[in-house]
A and B are shown apart, each in its own frame.
Chain A
Amino acid sequence: MSNKATKGQTLSLTMRLTVGLGGLLLFGGIVLTLAAFAYGRVAARDAFDRLLVGAANTIASNISISDGQLVVDLPRSAFDLLALAPNDRIAYEVRGVNGELVTGYALDVIPDRPMTFSDMPHYFDADFFGEPARFVRTTRTFSERQFSGTVQVVVGQTILARQELAFDITKRALLGLLIGGIAVLGMALVVVRSALRPLEKIADTIRQRDPRDLTQIDQHAPKEISDMVSSLNAFMQRLEQQFDVMRNLISDTAHQLRTPVAALRAQSDFALRESDEIKRAQIVSKIHSRSLSLGRLLDQMLSRAMVIHRIESARRETLDLRDIALTLIDDGDHSLIYPDHDIHLEIGPEPILVYGDLISLTEAAKNLLSNALAHGVAPVTIGVESTNSHACIWVRDLGDGPQVELDIGDRFVRSSVSKGKSAGLGLSIAKSVADAFEGRLELVRNEAGFKISILLPLKRGNDV
């Protein structure tokens, strides 16, 4: 009965949640990192592009015309502006109307783009002495008597500061994410703990209980846990019923065994003191028959115990009731004990299928047959038949049947024992088995005699 529950623990809920959330956060973290890095790059680019164009405009605005010549007075402020990116190298050049270099690096990186008269600065990426750099080109248009045309100013700078800023922005975003992630994880753990607290409470309650205390557990708990508690309660109820059955069995057994043993003892005491050989032989004969019936009683009690056990534990299968009937006939036990009884078998050509335990059902039918043989009037017939919904195995004799009503249940078991007979016990077994397989006992008394049937739900299907 005590199926040992496996103690193997699976991953704790807390752990599952941590792993799940951690994975989610990690995934989100990677996505956000990429997003933050992309944003950081754009932000850094925009910020430093402004410096770049500021420097270019400063240089452009310092270009003047003197005697028809371009004069570039390179302002220090332009370089101070660019020096805000402290470690980046600076490229610049000023080209005249015909594209001739006026001053600065002869940068060969400027994309060949037609000059426009728009003032929109044009940004582009190129290398500066083998290092990636960002450039801007601005123009300034002169239209004076001595000089007219468009002068272009290109200013560039390597991108160390941009990268640093981009990384810095990313780092800050990640730091925020990390703190947020830890906070979410922490809160999740708190939530799980509080959600699991009712479970811990129930575990404590059960642990502190007396082992025999099978009363219901307080079901005040969240819905999910309440379901578990109610099935736990149902389980304990079944356990309690089992206990009841066991208690009854033990007290019945005590009663049923003590009585015949007491009779045996009394008879044997009597025999010891009896000096008359003939009377003593009579007493010994009584002792012998009493011991025979005690043996049968014992068989039945063990059979009952076994049936109760099997009802709980045995695997159920599809059975042909005709097989059970034939087994009873074939066993031949009855022919030894009641050699003068006729037994008839009434079965049809078709299988009568039920769902149950072969041994329990065989024991039940055997007890009914034994009762009929012991207390009924021959001939005894055992038969199997089916109605629309029920399969039925029955035993019939020509007598009146027992004097008790079935619905008295187990109680009548006791009274029958004292008479040295065991019809009640047999009925009790049959009733238990019928109940266990969703069936019932049916008694019919009429002019044809007494017929007792075990009715079980009919299982339709193919032949076994």
Chain B
Amino acid sequence: MYKVLIIWLFSVGSVVAQEATKHFGPQDAAIEIRLRTTTDIEIFAPTVVDFLSKHPDFSVHYEQWGSNDLYEKTSNECASKTPSADIVISSAVHQMVKLVNDRCAAPWNSDVSQKLMPELSWRNEIWGITSEPAVMVYNKTLVSQDQVPYTRFDLLDLLRPQDNEFAGRVATYDIEASGLGFLFAFLDSREASTFGALMEAFARSGAVATCCSSEIINGVIEGRYLIAYNVLGSYANTIAKTQSVLGIIEPQDYTLVLSRAAILPGRNANRGAGLFLEYLLSDQGQAQMSEQFLVTKSQSAFEQNEPPATATRRIIELGPALLVAEDQATVRRFNQRWHDIFSTFDR
């Protein structure tokens, strides 16, 4: 398993659209569920395996994709009405919402999907299956205890002094390469006024924008970066299990919580994919995913009665409002701004 992880670690960022594939379950299974997701195979594999143990007549063909490529592929297939996946799960949820709005997803009704909190589903065509906070990670050995930022303001303070030790050693997503990165940044820009200042601080201190969660986290572990901003908590937690050097912080001013979106492409849902979806939303699927930190126990999407662990958690709602994050003009302008800031201070 670890070997696979290493192979995958070095293959990230490549231009190959399809990053990795794997087949689960018997080759001659009656029904093959074609799954396309941005989720790393290692993280999601136990869940798939658990599902197949309940449904031995199914098999899952797992394809791992980058979020932008996945969106493009699914959108093209929708336009040509030749969906080649049965279920698509992406962390770039605004792209999934756009697909739903473009009538690229099939509805699926079931008791389980009805129980989902209303913010995490729309039109019975898109469902939030995980809850993963956007966190800051830091290198425990290189960042002293009193320097650890608990809020964005703390981070700003760290970056403010001229020629501080964090210059060039803070990393975050390259929003043009990562759909998820864009979404987090975009939502930050709408969420709080600190974003402008933060961007400016990133630019001024020579923050590095790179593509993927794993690369960022690895950089922190290896000490290339001291702090990384807006990293997906599930990846951080998974790696932190084996890399004790990795420190994880949920920002206390507010924490965005991503719920990975699943859709069933096409006009009619594949029954196997529907059952897989139901499994993911079921208590059992949620429990399984929580072992991979895909569902954080403090706030399960299903425990609606329980108050959130911290009032600062902000769930990213899966609804038409996310269409704004997919609007060409808005994206163009946001990217322009990002470019402008980073190029101003580019060394």
Contacts and interface: CB of A to CB of B under 8 A. Distances in A.
Q: Do chains A and B touch in the complex (CB under 8 A)?
A: yes
B323 A90 contact: yes
Contact of B330 (A74, A80, A87, A90): A74
B278 to A, nearest CB: 20
Interface string B318-332: 011101100111100
Interface residues of B, number: 19
A83 B100 contact: no
Interface residues of A, number: 22
Contact of A72 (B100, B103, B124, B330): B330
Contacts of A102: 329
B190 interface: yes
Interface in B303-347: 319-321, 323-324, 327-330, 333
A82 B321 CA distance: 9
Contacts of A80: 321
Given A71-B333, A72-B330, A103-B329, A90 B324 contact: no
B235 interface: no
Nearest to A102: B329
A32 to B, nearest CB: 33
A244 interface: no
Nearest to A105: B102
Contacts of B101: 89-90
A94 interface: yes
Contact of A79 (B100, B124, B321): B321
Interface string A109-137: 00000000000000000001111000000
Nearest to B319: A83
B331 to A, nearest CB: 9
Contact of B320 (A71, A82, A94, A103): A82
A359 to B, nearest CB: 90
A464 B165 CA distance: 142
Given A79-B323, A89-B320, A74 B329 contact: yes
Contacts of B100: 89
Nearest to B324: A74
Nearest to B332: A103
- Give chain B's interface secondary structure class: helix
Contact of A131 (B103, B321, B323): B103
A79 B324 contact: yes
B327 A104 contact: yes
A62 to B, nearest CB: 10
Contact of A129 (B103, B124, B321): B103
Interface in B88-130: 100-103, 118, 122-124
Given A83-B321, A129-B102, A129-B103, A89 B328 contact: no
A350 to B, nearest CB: 99
Nearest to A94: B329
A109 to B, nearest CB: 14
Contacts of B321: 76, 79-80, 83
B329 A90 contact: no
A74 B327 CA distance: 8
Contact of A73 (B320, B323, B330): B330
A89 B100 CA distance: 8
A128 B118 CA distance: 24
A73 B327 CA distance: 9
Interface string A192-235: 00000000000000000000000000000000000000000000
Interface in A83-102: 83, 86-87, 89-90, 94, 102
Interface in A436-450: none
8 contacts: A74-B327, A76-B190, A79-B321, A83-B320, A87-B122, A89-B123, A104-B327, A129-B103
Question: Shortest 3 CB-CB distances between A and B: which pairs?
Answer: A103-B329, A129-B103, A79-B321
